[in-house]
Structure 1
């Protein structure tokens, strides 16, 4: 790429077209180069350009119990711009038939997305070191490098160019954490967490270069710092929390509660605050959230009647901006019906995938 001084002399439309072809995971690095690049990668226009190129998508996983009552089966869908006119704001929910996890002995792998790839890290109830990687560009699975040790009941997160796997018990002792370097494709040990409860958390995200896990029954969040193993613990809002309703965008943590609405965590004040401007949003449950072209894709289930064989899946796109008073204001677009799924399906994962 040309030096910032030459690049900034290009027409804006050409700048956005070039940057839209750069992998999105590199945007934080570009933002550090110059204020001009920082402004460009944060602009709504670059998301519109990426939309016209079909660069981003959201993968949603539904789970349902098997007919024999033993184990669960996952069903994956992707949220994408309509093929006829990808530049419009219309989206469609498409079934991903090729996304069938190869390890049938692993019922609930930890799942995390990085760029166009989705990592399935085995070791839920039974310790395992197996890793599988799904490439959304080719719709194919491949076996990834195995972890150094077997893990179970673990927390996973993406910090920079490394995937961290934290916790997991073996012989009544907590494992030392380890990380997978996406550049070298190798695993290495990292400092052990000083908080054992992290191993039993659910719904993992990354915030402030830390791996965060949620214990919704205890109503706490635990954040692991991979630099020294220290853990920070802070409370969740005092209300029932739905594990699919969690998302991080622009290093801001969001959770959703049916009673309280969409909330964000103010790290400077150390408290939860409500996102303003969303009073007209329907109070719903079983929510999934993920970043989609610079906005939040807010999905939920809606049963048309009690005992119906199918239920609808709806979505609203929410733009989120900082207010002058230091809060966050949401602007929700009209709800769109994405499709229907069997009533026995339950929202489990929501992943933002981008090239």
Structure 2
């Protein structure tokens, strides 16, 4: 298998000094690659992407992954179907890809197993779920792959079947990149500038307590990311500099341990919260993933 360098990226490192311990984003070695791609999910030590253009040619059935141990890029087996802007989720160590054609999803899901390096084809009731809507909402939680449209259905791999589930309006937020799942609990800022968690029994969002010292988070989708960092919340956000540094932008990161104390209370404990990177104001953080290395 041919190996080539991945696109530019940064990795989190802890730098020890005599006085304190600083967490910093440091660049990893890369080289130029003529491709337009979208990062979609992390499994183990790999970050998977679907390439839209390679060397100027349209190609949306090719999947690549970044090996975060060696910082090298590899190509996975080609998908069976070509699609644009696919819906993708990671469930039980597998990549679920919902193809779309002309803006509307097809009635199939492709599943990639990194262990066997094989793609599986799964028939799905997309037309029934979609109804009159032009797009779907998807998320993976509690061992199921959920699809929301006019109707909500879930696919349980262990049972190998689709079931209709009741529509929960609050879970719409679970599909966005400003959310993460830890122990089957969804955490999000929900554009409220504070962290919240979804109470599936009460069907409402509750504040994550104990975070009075966490800085206010941005409301913008593009400036905030949440990931499951080994059972803890890692949240990254952008903040512009003050008057004296108006041309700079600061990338903040915080790691938060969570503890459920009752059915309606979950507390967070800030393990650290720091500026991990300073960049020109024109730069932006595209994606934020947690991997095992």
TM range (shorter): 0.7 to 0.9
| Alignment coverage as a number of residue pairs | 269
SS at match of 1:129: strand
SS in 1 for 2:60: coil
Question: Could you list the runs of 5+ residues in structure 1 that have no partner in the other structure?
Answer: 1-73
Name the counterpart of 2:4. none
Match status 1:112 vs 2:112: no
Unaligned runs of 5+ residues in structure 2 are: 1-6
Residues in 1 aligned to 2:144 and 2:31: alpha-carbon distance in whole angstroms: 29
Aligned to 2:238: 301
The reply on whether 1:183 has 2:115 as its aligned counterpart is yes
Asked if 2 retains the 8 angstrom alpha-carbon contact of 1:123 and 1:151, the reply is no
Distance 2:185 2:31 in 1: 29
TM-score normalised according to structure 1 size: 0.64
Query: Which of 253, 274, 299 is the equivalent residue of 2:186?
Result: 253
1:187–1:246 Cα change, 3 Å: same
Q: Contact 1:133–1:142 at 8 Å: present in 2 too?
A: yes
Aligned-pair CA distance for 1:325: 4.5
Worse-superposed segment, 312-321 or 227-236: 227-236
Report the CA distance between 1:278 and its aligned residue. Answer: 1.7
Distance 2:135 2:123 in 1: 18
What is the TM-score of this pair, normalised by structure 2?
Answer: 0.76
User: What are the equivalent positions in structure 2 for 1:176-255 lying under 5 Å apart?
Assistant: 176-194=108-126, 195-196=129-130, 200=135, 205-211=139-145, 224-225=154-155, 227-230=160-163, 232=165, 233-236=167-170, 243-255=176-188
Map residues 107-186 of structure 1 onto 2, 5 A cutoff: 108-123=37-52, 128-169=60-101, 174-186=106-118
**Inter-CA distance 177–294: structure 2 relative to 1 (3 Å threshold):** closer
> For residues 115 and 265 of structure 1, do their structure 2 counterparts lie closer, same or farther at Cα, with a shift above 3 Å needed?
same
Residues 140, 260 of structure 1: alpha-carbon distance in 2 compared, 3 angstrom cutoff: closer
Alpha-carbon distance change, 79 to 221 in structure 1, aligned in 2, over 3 angstroms = farther
How many angstroms apart in 2 are the aligned matches of 1:231 and 1:310?
49
Q: Is the 8 A contact 1:244 1:347 kept in 2?
A: no
1:328 aligns with 2:258: no
Change (3 A) 1:205 1:113: farther
C-alpha distance after superposition, 1:207-241 (max 9, x if no partner): 112235799xxxx99774253345654324899x9
Which of 283, 295, 312 is the matching residue for 2:250?
A: 312
1:237/1:305 CA distance change after superposition, 3 Å: farther
Q: As a proportion of its length, which structure holds more helix?
A: 1
1:342 to 276, 280, 292: 280
More strand by share: 2
Q: Distance in 2 between matches of 1:290 and 1:186?
A: 27
- 1:200: Cα distance to partner? 4.1
Higher relative contact order (CA 8 A, sep 6+): 1
